[in-house]
Amino acid sequence: MKKMILTGMALLLSVALAWSQTDDAAIEAQMKHLIDSINASYQYQTGQITLGDGMATIQVPTGFRYLNAAQSKQILEDIWGNPPGQATLGMLFPEKMGPLDSASFAFNISFEDMGFVKDDDADKINYSELMTQLQKDSEKENEKRAKEGFEPIVFVGWASDPFYDKEKKILHWAKELKVGEFPDNTLNYDVRILGRKGVLSLNAIGMMGQLEPIKGAVPAIANAVAFTEGNRYSDFSKSSGDKIAAWTIGGLVAGKILAKAGLFAILLKFGKLIILAILGGGAAIWRFISGRKKQEEEATAFESIGTPNSSPTDNNDTPVA
């Protein structure tokens, strides 16, 4: 599977680099064929899904489909360019979209085994101050990313303010992120469901233009996930030796701002569909392609007005001075 994906991505790059020699319709047709082939290679599920070792279930909401953990990990790392070691219990995609569709988004599901999270601080958090601190923290994280060869990710601010439903034990918030030199900002919408032994995370990955559809899907997504008996928040038992998490509600929001950034193989339209961010090299590829195209356009324009040794003619075949 991984070999097929990498081969497909290499073919997409070769198509992009050959764009000056092929007409628009042919390039778009080739791009569409390759993207459709990759999207069709995944096996989705609907209905009720058991997550992990049975600690929780999800009833896939109407309009979505589930992709298992193995396939989801491959998308996160090999298609979207995240660092290796991404945690996932599976992903939810809109039913008519795949990981390489420019309008698509996804919810990555994972579990953080941190223990029982107390929510005593939920009403005391100043999220404006927290945002400022996280912006400073992201600068330090980017120094580490640069050393590892990854694009910088700048925390722009809240795309949706943090909100905690104390009755349902559900916390959600959204971050706007600037990834490298890409022109469109990335959206991370985090949904956390508190349980007895840790927190289920549903991290929505998309672009800022998708804020409204993602935000609109959050209630249905959150309500579709449930801890099984014995794993619910209400099942916590201190006398049974249950561990209490070091983090509180504020800590969940503040925790590793760049850990789930979700880099996309971004599809942009610049006269044609061009795949960027291929295996982390998107910015360089974009500069190469756009620079090459610019040079070709300048050369064509120069030839059209003539060189010192040429004698262009007008419509009457009369030499132009």
DSSP secondary-structure letter at 242?
A: P
Q: Residue 273: how many CB atoms within 10 A of its CB?
A: 20
How many alpha carbons fall within 13 Å on the CB side of residue 171?
Answer: 20
Query: Using CA atoms, how far apart are residues 131 and 115, in angstroms rounded to an integer?
Result: 25
Q: Order of strands across the sheet with 44-45?
A: 44-45, 64-67, 90-94, 106-112, 199-207, 186-194, 170-179, 153-165
The DSSP line for 33-94 is HHHHHHHHT--EE-SEEEETTTTEEEEPPTTEEEE-HHHHHHIIIIIS-PPS----SEEEEE
Please enumerate in sequence order all residues whose Cβ is within 8 A of that of 249, keeping only pairs 6 or more positions apart, or say none.
117, 119, 121, 122, 125, 164, 171
**Nearest CA to 194 among 116, 271, 258?**
116
Residues 6+ apart with CB under 8 A from 98: 35, 38, 39, 40, 42, 104
Which is nearest to 171 in space by CA: 161, 181, 180, 179?
Answer: 161
Sketch the domain layout of the chain as residue ranges: 44-269
3-class secondary structure, 171: strand
> Is domain 44-269 classified as CATH 1.10.3470?
no
Whether the pTM exceeds 0.75: the reply is: no
How remote is the C-alpha of 302 from its chain's centroid?
42
Q: What angle do CA 258, 51, 68 make, to 5 degrees?
A: 75
Residue 187 near residue 208 (C-beta atoms within 8 A): yes
3-state percent helix, strand, coil for the chain, nearest multiple of 5: 40, 25, 35
Q: Digits of tens for pLDDT over the chain (321 positions)?
A: 544 444 455 555 555 555 545 566 776 676 677 777 777 889 999 999 999 889 999 999 999 999 999 999 988 887 776 778 888 999 999 998 888 777 778 899 999 999 999 998 888 899 999 999 888 888 888 888 788 887 788 889 999 999 999 999 999 999 998 878 878 888 889 999 999 999 999 998 788 888 999 999 999 999 999 999 999 999 999 899 999 998 889 888 887 543 433 333 333 222 222 333 333 333 443 344 444 444 545 555 544 444 433 333 333 332 222
